[in-house]
Structure formats: structure tokens, C-alpha cells
Structure 1
């Protein structure tokens, strides 16, 4: 029975989690005029991404003319803005033995509407590509999404006008955006920016960054964006990374903004294979539909969201967003810890203090074992020597699969380490206390990460109370909680690996204590010898993936200008 419950929980979590990771279905060209259609947007993507169109090239001029014509047809007043190419960009091009253009040219467009004195909402994307890549994703997808949003909102009863900023020379170091925000007169009229980027060619689109205090901004997103993908931890992580987009250049102006991107199929990033045919149109639909809902809400709102303290927020499996002030996280933690104590008191005769300590140590051991295995795997897969960033991106699906195998190896190493029957309940309580300690530390140090740790802990605490007070439903409650909680953990783990997996896959091991807590009551009966056999098989399988990555020829998708370093 426990084997059945255990396998059922894993399968259900896999199905739910996989579904949450899938982008939206493409809306056809026959979709209502007010809807976003990736099929319509793909027409523009194909036109832009016929060939590479880096700054200064003839194809860059071609794409700019195409976009100017499209914007005029959509009712925009359009002008060009020449900006200088930075010395840093010239040095970068010189290293690649490429000629530096004299200038970059932004396209600035405004469609007045409503109160012409009201601050404008701006859509922003860059239309240049890197040398050698057609740039169907980066960033023809963002540009085409902006055009489709402009078309879909053309007849909306809006309260303010829409601006579109198509920057040039983003790939040379954000020169176009830097020039725009440093001196264009339109900057003073902007009230909110929605930027759209990509790093890859597929996957779900996520709102991964906000500029400015975002409490009210997230309220707008939560209320109006259907099937949203966003969480405050991603915003916090991005702040710590040395990454930039055009929206970065808006920070000195204090204009608030949202940043969208999709990261899946990372091999297509800056790749010669980043063609319209290889682009997943569902991801364009996903980013465009979310950005359309948000833009429409901003254009029609009586007032743009005012600055308010940052919210703690997270989507729940891509279906809706929960958002709350930081202090609410303490309430969630308090409720979870109260339920854990309640369950512990009810089952006090079934465990000993040493069992609680054993469970707590089991959670720590899972992190250490899986983290160490992932660290060794990363070295074995080629990170012990010179690597090509884009070649590692191409290996990301295999890195993610290996991470999954090694996390299961870490869990298998401890799930059956405690064999005494008393340790089942006591170990569960110990694991819950460990996760409570982690969640409290997270709440103090990085409250933005609260939903990832506090809410699964609350789910587990509910299952503990059900098992303690209504034992007949204990397995059912544990199965349901494990399926939902593990799907949530896997969903975030997937995005964590997409973001930093090629350099630090061991970071995903921090998710194991909560995963172990969710699985603990469903531990199947398995002897130590069988358990270690499973661990060995998983490690060998991950090692084989590492060897494949290490000895595989350089991927054909790598950027044409890239090298090993």
C-alpha cells in the first residue's frame, strides 16, 4: 500500500509539475481581434528573423524600416533616435574582428489616446540581433509581441496613450536603451514600462524582475493577468546576478517597470539555429498574452499603480498569483508551526526525542549528499576546465535530468536510513522542525523566498494533523499534499536550473529538505541493500549523462563568435 501511495504521489507531482511548466497554447490568426495571437505575431518574427540583423548592418536597416511601417499602420507617431556606440562596444567588436557601427538607431513611437497629459504606458524590446544569429527569439519575439499587443489594444477605451520603444544595440551593451533613458524627451512622459526579452527559444514566460517598489504593481498583475508566471524570489535572485536588460537602464529615472522573458530551450540563445522554425510559438503566446493582460489593465486603469512596499508573491503552478506583505509570511509560518506542535502532542507516545533528532539530521544529510553529488557531477561533465557558455546551455536539459537523478539519489540515501517504526512519526516531526528553522531563517534574511518554503511547510503540517487526529485519512492526506507540494517545488527547481544550472546545479539541493518532508510519511518498505542499489544506479546514470556532456562534440547551436574560456 505504501509503495502504491509513494509511486502515485510521484506520478501525480510529475504530471502536475510538467503541466505547470508548459507554455500556453497558440491562439490562431482567427482569434478575436482583442486577443493575443502568436500565429499573427509569428508573421512579424519571420519577416525580422530572415537573417541576422546586428546593429549597423544592412539587415538591421531593413528590419527598422519594416518596424517603422508596421507602427505607422497601427496609428503610431514614429521617429528615429540615433545614439552613439560606446567605446566598450567598440572594444568588444574589435576582439571579434568585427567593424563597429558609427551609431545605433532606436525607434520611438507614441499612440496618443485618452488623457494626453496622463503618463504613458511603454512597451519595450530590442530589434537588433547578435552577429550570426537570426534572433527569432532574442528579441524578435519581444518586438513582435509588442506589435501584436499594440494591434489588440487599438480600439480599447483607454485612459492613456501607449508608447513603444524598440531599442538598437542592446547586444552591444544596452547602448540603445542607455541613450534613450539618458536624454530622450519622451522619458519624462513615461509612467510604466513593460519590457520583453528572451534567453532561449521556448518554455513558460515569467515576469522575473520589477523596477521600483512593487506592492501595487503586483496587485495589478495578480488581478488582471491570466495564467501568470511570476515570483518574488526570481526578482530577488535577478537582483543578485550580474545580468542586465534594457530595463536596467530605466533604474536611474525611477520609472517603474515589469520585465518578462522565457528561458526554455536555452540552446537557441544567440544561436545560428535561432530561426522562426525552431522557435516555440507557444512561448511567444505565453509572453504576449501575459503582457497584453497587464498592458490593457495599465492603459485602462484610472491611475497607474503607486509606489508601495515590495510584496511577497508567487504564482501557484502557473494558475494564479498569491501576494501579501512581508508580515503575512510570519502568520503562515506561525500557523504551520502551531499545526506541527499540535500533531506532535497528539502522537507524543509514538516517538522519542532521538527520533526527532534523527529526522532533522536526515534532512541535512539529504542536502549534503545531493549537493556533493551535483558538485562532482558538474566537474565531471566538463566544468573542471575551459567551457563554452553556449555549449553548456545546449547541455542544460541533460544537466537538469542529471540533477533530478542525483536529488533522488540523495533522498534515497536517507529515506530508508531510519528503520525503526517509531522513527516514522518522530522523523517526520524532526524534518518539519528543520524545515521550520529554514523557513524562519528565510523569512528573516530573504522574505521574497517565503512562498517556496513556508507554503509547502504549511501543507505538510496539515497532513501531519490529519494523520495524527484522523489516521484513516492520513495516507490520502499525505499523498495529496505530496503531489501538490512536490509539483510546486519541482516547478521552481526547473526555473532555478534554467537560471543558474549551467554554473551551479548544486543550488537545487536546498529544495531537498522540503521534498523529503513531503515524502516522509509515504516512505515505502525498502531494505538498506536495495536502497543503496537504487542510489548506485542513479549515480551511474547521472555519471553517464556527465560523460555524454563532457565528450560530446561542441553543439552546432553555439554562438558563432563564442569561444572556450
Structure 2
């Protein structure tokens, strides 16, 4: 074939090439969309050695029963634990309960009760751990987070027992106190079984539907990547997910396991984020397809990890990603740079074979600058659109119901933002518009350079821009001089690597990142626009603009929240020594009509607690009759220890609240305080104390506890004590009615009553026990 035949072909041939290019991209787009749907649930009468979402859902229904919140230390938590024990006993696994008082590194303490059960294999000295937590937050029943994982583990345990013999034991760990502060995981790492673990498989959720994604691994994940590729039935994973997750202020139980030297993987589903930690995180909204997806993956990995003869932790990491949910491509991280260099060599060969149509290097650099300019225009333009929507009050929270169509509109903005006269833009950079190779090779060079940048800063994300260049280069080696094949392969590669980001970016990071959809879409479509510019004429741009207008216009019509995906809004009655007032927490802006309807209160920004650094939305002072009993603090003694003095206190909630707490000046540090004789343990990726301002806060999931403070001689304790109970008093039931009418519900810690007292400024000289702040009349007024 003559290398110049394509450019010299009549108009009909060019049009056919453009249509073929568009068809390839359309098929790839269809495969990408199809890959976002979880598999169908397997019926209950299916093969007993496989996973059935219907069987798992039946077990979960028995465990959750009335579907009420069951946070650490609550009566309902005890009931859920007993039901799980019944399910494990039914499976003849001889489960046991273990409790231990522990404290998180950021000052949350409690006594989690973990459930452990072994599925025996031939070798009892090694373990693969299947882990999930059974506690919920105060606001919701936790069917997704993480009841679905509990149901999945029960079904996986049954399937493992019914399947082939295991090489070594699998340990079921259904832990407690994860929502409080990963406390169950911290407690398990002090158990003797922790030293036998080869790998953890941790199952989580941040929603109620969607794909279950393998988003986290430990370091040295090359073996895991190989096992993912060999065994996952419908994979959704990539090394990019872990690179991003490492940058986020999020933790799971796996964070604790890894901090203590463990190795493993984490999976979660994140669809339906508006239901996360709310009352509608229930069985009704849990997608059984998602449960099937999570269960299939965890069962496959459990069998693969047990059967792997060598160590599961490798000496190196891997780059890996799934291709439309059908298979996984992976390579050792050490090969990334050689692959990039090989791609450059192949691209050079393809460039040389263009012959007379080979662009000058200066023109290629012009094409590179053109790509940079277009991406910058796309990103800045989309950001301005998003900021305009925010100013109009149409984007008020991190997640809201009506952002699906606007998300599609942001993707199509990439077509709208393409320059109307590309010839003029091309010429600005010294690029001949009659030669698309200038722009195509410039674009390939830009992507290749971006892959080198990613190799330096996010090595697991290098594949994002390298794979499209590699595919386009191979296409040009096979079909020299075919601009349509080059453009379509660049588009195909981008749909493989960047496409999953387009599909999950909003659910992963929220509305603030919507503008990024536009430049990411440009990375998919620009190569096609270069190679088949006739497909992106004025009519195409007008159609894209019309769809964008309809997408953004839908925000004026579609409600932002529904009772199935509610507006997050929690109300707390704050009782101080002098006054009682309501404090409202929500992402929705104070001036929003939605917010005013949801509360029915006149609110103003103000510090609701003296140790807070950020104002809350505070309501009017309440009546004397609305006050609650305040916590009681007793000094039990103080003992000199070298140059320090150890002060010992007893803290109790007079109303048997679910949580008690102590707040002290940050200058003391966490190490100065111990609750029930226990100090903090490690196992979090980020330092929450860095955001605490001038105070450090402790929370203990109990109604009473003792604590000690080690202070330099001459220094005296100061700060505050508090207790918190869930739910508002009956007198405030009308507030819940207003909230429901506005499609809002409590979230996370939910509604509650928080009562606080300041520590006194003076202490008795005698070293004797006594009540220091037993009631509000004995307490001095707190400083603002």
C-alpha cells in the first residue's frame, strides 16, 4: 500500500475512514458503558460452591432484622452481634467473641466486640482473613456500609466449606467499632491470630449500589495484580485507584492492618453516595447486583490467595488496569520506563514511515502546544461554568440527585469548546491544517510526556496516557499513514484508561470535580477531531451545545434531593452550663431556600462549642425546661512521677449517654492522656489533629470511664468534658417533620444531645477525691 494513498483518496474514501473511526470509538464507548453494570444476582438454588447474592441477602435480612442503627456499645449492636453468631454457628464454624478496650490515634476509644471463626484447611498455621465490620453509624441501619459485606462473608464462608479443600485456614473476622475509629481492627491486631495472617481481604462500602471496585492494596502488590488478572470474574480495578486513595483523607480497617505490618487488598462500592450514613442505607435500597459483584470478587480472591504457594507480598509494585471489565492488563512497575521508551521508538518508526507526509518536528511541537492550549481552554471554561452554577445556587452539596445529566453536559462541553476555526488555531502554532499528522503526532508526544510525568509523581497512573499512545503507534506500524486508525486507536486507548474515570469521577470525589470531566473527555475525543474533523462540524457543535443546555437546564427542574436520596442534615441540642441551643450541620448553604425549609429555624453562624474552630449554624436559646443533666467529673487523685504529676479522673454521664468525652489544650499532645489505662494506637493515613485548632478532643463510646493526664509539675488540667446521646428529645419532633418535608435526613453521627462543662480554673490543694463539676451551678462560665 502507498503510504500517501489515504490523503490522496477521493472525498468518499475519507468519509468512509471517518465513519470507521467513529464506529470503533462508538463500540468502545458501548463496552465502557456496559462494564459499569454489576452482574445479575445468582439465585439461591445455584451451585453451592459458588456465591449467590440471594442467599447472602437472606442471611443479611436475618442479621439486620428491624434495620435500626447499631453503633458501637449500643443495645442494638449487641443484638446484631448475637444474630451474626447464630448465622456462624449455623455454618458449624465454632465462632467466638473477643472484646478489648482500645483507642485510635486521633482520640476515639471504646470496647469493640469482634467475631472470629475459622474455616479449616490442611495447614492451620497460615491464615487469609476475610474482614468486614458489623457496626453502623448513629444515623442509619448500615445495610450497605457494611451490612452487605457481612452478608457476603457469611455466604462466602458457606461456599468455601462446600467447595474444594483449602490449602490452609481462612479466618472470618467480622469486627466492631469501625465507624467509631477502626477500633475492631486495632483490637484484632493484638490477637495472636494476627501474626499468622498471609493477607487480608477487607470489604467496605460508601453507598448502596454500583460496581465493587478493588481500590486499595498494600505495598508490594505485584503478586496481587497477577492474581487479579487470573481470577477476578468481572474485574473493576486499577493501580490508579490506589494512587488516588493514598492522597485522600480516608481510612478503612485495612489502614490499620497495613500500619501493623499486614498485607492485603480492599474493595468497596460507592454508588448512591447520598444514602451513605443515612436512614436510607437500608435493605430496600441495597442493589443485589452489587452484592453479587462484591461476593464474587471476594470469594475468587480468597480461593486464589489460599492456593498461592509463594508469598503474597511481592518485592515490587505493579501497574494494572481492567479493560472494560473483561480482563486485566498488568506489568511490574520496573518495566514502566522501558515500555515508555519502547513506545517512543515505535512512534519514531511510524513517524519515519510517513515519507513525504511526515510533518516537520517544529510542526509536531506546534501540535503539542495546540493540545496544551485546547486542554487549558477546556479545563478553565468548564471550571467557570461550574462556578456559575454554584453562584446560581444549583450546586449546593458534594452530592445531589440532579447532577447526572449535568455530568453528561460537562463531558459534551469538550465539543462545544473546540475552536470554530481550527485552521486559524493550527496556523497560530505553525501547523498546516491540511496535514492532521501535525496535530496527531503533537498529541501523541504530549500524552507520552504526560506519562513520564505520571511515572515520577503517580507511577501507578502512568498507563493512563501511555496506553493510548502505544495503541496508536502499533496501529501505525500495522497500517502506515492511516490517520483514521491512529485517531481511533488514541480514542480507544483513552476510553480504556480514562473512560472509567469519566464514569466514576463524580461518585468518587463529588460535585467539586465536575469541571474535570470536560478536559478528560477532550483526551478521548480530540484525536478523533484531528483525524476526522468533518465529524465535528458546526452542526455537531450546535447539537452538543443544545444537549449541554438541556443538561444544565435540568437542574432547574429536577429536585436536588428526594427521600430516596436525601439532603444530609443533622441537628444537635447543645447544652452548656448556662444555655441550651440547637446546632445544625449540613453541606447546604445557610441562605438556601432548601435549608430554611428543612430546619424551619432562624439560624446564624456562631461557635456552638467553645473548643470549635469553625462556626456552626446555631438556633435561638431554648427554654430552661429543655435543659438536660450535665456530665460529672471527679478528681480521684494526683501522684508525682519524676518532674510530672499524673492526675486521675472519673468521668460519668448522668443520663447514660452513648459517648463521653474530654477536650484539652493541644499543647499537651495525645500521649499525655490515657483512658482506662490505654493510650492511643496507630493505624491512620492522615493526622486529624492537624486540623483541630487549639484543642484535642477525645470520645469514648461508653457512659463512664476513668482517665489520667500527665502534666509538668505546676501545670493544672484545663479544658472541657462532655457527653452525647443519639436522637433529639420528643419536644423537638416537629423539626424532623420539617426536615422530611424538605427531603432531608440525619447523616453520620445523626441527631443528638451534647452536654458540656468546662474544667474549673482552680483545683483543691488536698489530694482527695471529690466532685469537680457535678452540676451547672458549680461550674464557672466558659470562655468564648
1:144-155 to structure 2, matched below 5 A, reads 144-155=151-162
Q: Given the superposition, is the C-alpha separation of residues 83 and 388 from structure 1 closer, same or farther in structure 2, using an over 3 Å criterion?
A: farther
- Structure 1 position 152, deviation (Å): 0.5
1:106-125 to structure 2, matched below 5 A, reads 106-117=114-125, 119-125=126-132
Contact 2:128 2:199 in 1 (8 A): yes
- Structure 1 position 190, deviation (Å): 1.9
1:470-509 to structure 2, matched below 5 A, reads 471=482, 475=484, 478-479=487-488, 482-483=491-492, 485-508=494-517
Residue 701 of structure 2 corresponds to: none
1:290-301 to structure 2, matched below 5 A, reads 290-301=297-308
> Matched residues in 2 for 1:160 and 1:553: separation?
49
TM-score, normalised to structure 2, is 0.64
Q: Given the superposition, is the C-alpha separation of residues 30 and 527 from structure 1 closer, same or farther in structure 2, using an over 3 Å criterion?
A: closer
Contact 2:103 2:110 in 1 (8 A): no
> Matched residues in 2 for 1:134 and 1:414: separation?
57
> Matched residues in 1 for 2:243 and 2:89: separation?
38
Q: Given the superposition, is the C-alpha separation of residues 252 and 560 from structure 1 closer, same or farther in structure 2, using an over 3 Å criterion?
A: same
Q: Deviations over 1:168-210 (max 9, x none)?
A: 22122222222332x2232222221100001112221111111
Q: Deviations over 1:403-461 (max 9, x none)?
A: 32233434576877549542312111111111111112222332211222211111122
> Matched residues in 1 for 2:186 and 2:331: separation?
34
3-state SS, counterpart of residue 321 of structure 1: strand
Residue 43 of structure 1 corresponds to: 58
Q: Does 1:54 align with 2:77?
A: no
Contact 2:403 2:555 in 1 (8 A): no
3-state SS, counterpart of residue 238 of structure 1: helix
Q: Deviations over 1:364-418 (max 9, x none)?
A: 12321221233234333438989875x6254553453233223343457687754
Residue 75 of structure 1 corresponds to: 92
Answer with 343-352 or 378-387: which moved more: 378-387
Bigger Rg, structure 1 or 2: 2
Answer with 5-14 or 293-302: which moved more: 5-14
3-state SS, counterpart of residue 173 of structure 2: strand
> Matched residues in 2 for 1:89 and 1:44: separation?
35
> Matched residues in 2 for 1:554 and 1:225: separation?
36
> Matched residues in 1 for 2:272 and 2:523: separation?
28
Between the two proteins, the alignment pairs up a number of residues equal to 549
Structure 2 residue runs without a partner (length 5+)? 1-14, 571-584, 589-784
Residue 563 of structure 1 corresponds to: 586
Q: Deviations over 1:290-337 (max 9, x none)?
A: 111110122233344243211111122211222212232223322322
Q: Given the superposition, is the C-alpha separation of residues 349 and 386 from structure 1 closer, same or farther in structure 2, using an over 3 Å criterion?
A: closer
> Matched residues in 2 for 1:490 and 1:383: separation?
29
Q: Does 1:286 align with 2:293?
A: yes
> Matched residues in 1 for 2:561 and 2:271: separation?
22
Q: Given the superposition, is the C-alpha separation of residues 322 and 437 from structure 1 closer, same or farther in structure 2, using an over 3 Å criterion?
A: same
Answer with 325-334 or 394-403: which moved more: 394-403
Contact 2:439 2:530 in 1 (8 A): no
Q: Does 1:12 align with 2:27?
A: yes
Q: Deviations over 1:51-106 (max 9, x none)?
A: 13322333322211111111122232322222447599998xxxxxxxxx974322
Q: Does 1:271 align with 2:271?
A: no
3-state SS, counterpart of residue 462 of structure 2: helix
Work out which of the residue numbers 82, 88, 91 in structure 2 matches 1:65.
82
1:91-130 to structure 2, matched below 5 A, reads 103-117=111-125, 119-130=126-137
Answer with 487-496 or 156-165: which moved more: 487-496
> Matched residues in 2 for 1:538 and 1:514: separation?
20
Q: Deviations over 1:219-274 (max 9, x none)?
A: 22222222222211111111111001111111222111110111223232223222
Q: Given the superposition, is the C-alpha separation of residues 399 and 533 from structure 1 closer, same or farther in structure 2, using an over 3 Å criterion?
A: closer
1:141-220 to structure 2, matched below 5 A, reads 141-155=148-162, 156-181=164-189, 183-220=190-227
- Structure 1 position 563, deviation (Å): 1.5
- Structure 1 position 40, deviation (Å): 0.9
Contact 2:217 2:264 in 1 (8 A): yes
Residue 464 of structure 1 corresponds to: 476
> Matched residues in 2 for 1:371 and 1:47: separation?
49
Work out which of the residue numbers 437, 442, 445 in structure 2 matches 1:425.
437
Q: Deviations over 1:91-134 (max 9, x none)?
A: 8xxxxxxxxx97432222223331122x2111111111222322
Work out which of the residue numbers 43, 49, 60 in structure 2 matches 1:34.
49
Residue 406 of structure 1 corresponds to: 413
Q: Given the superposition, is the C-alpha separation of residues 295 and 449 from structure 1 closer, same or farther in structure 2, using an over 3 Å criterion?
A: same
TM-score, normalised to structure 1, is 0.87
Q: Does 1:449 align with 2:464?
A: no
CA RMSD of aligned residues (A): 3.2
> Matched residues in 1 for 2:142 and 2:421: separation?
46
Q: Given the superposition, is the C-alpha separation of residues 411 and 135 from structure 1 closer, same or farther in structure 2, using an over 3 Å criterion?
A: farther
Q: Relative contact order: is structure 1 or structure 2 higher (C-alpha 8 Å, sep ≥ 6)? A: 1
Answer with 221-230 or 516-525: which moved more: 516-525
Structure number having the greater strand percentage: 2
3-state SS, counterpart of residue 138 of structure 2: coil
Structure number having the greater helix percentage: 1
Q: Does 1:360 align with 2:368?
A: yes
Residue 268 of structure 2 corresponds to: 261
Q: Given the superposition, is the C-alpha separation of residues 251 and 353 from structure 1 closer, same or farther in structure 2, using an over 3 Å criterion?
A: closer
Q: Deviations over 1:449-481 (max 9, x none)?
A: 122221111112223344535x5xx64675466
3-state SS, counterpart of residue 139 of structure 1: helix
Q: Does 1:136 align with 2:143?
A: yes
Contact 1:336 1:458 in 2 (8 A): yes
3-state SS, counterpart of residue 207 of structure 1: strand
3-state SS, counterpart of residue 277 of structure 1: helix
> Matched residues in 1 for 2:466 and 2:148: separation?
36
> Matched residues in 2 for 1:187 and 1:399: separation?
47
1:303-322 to structure 2, matched below 5 A, reads 303-322=310-329
Contact 1:271 1:560 in 2 (8 A): no
- Structure 1 position 513, deviation (Å): 6.1
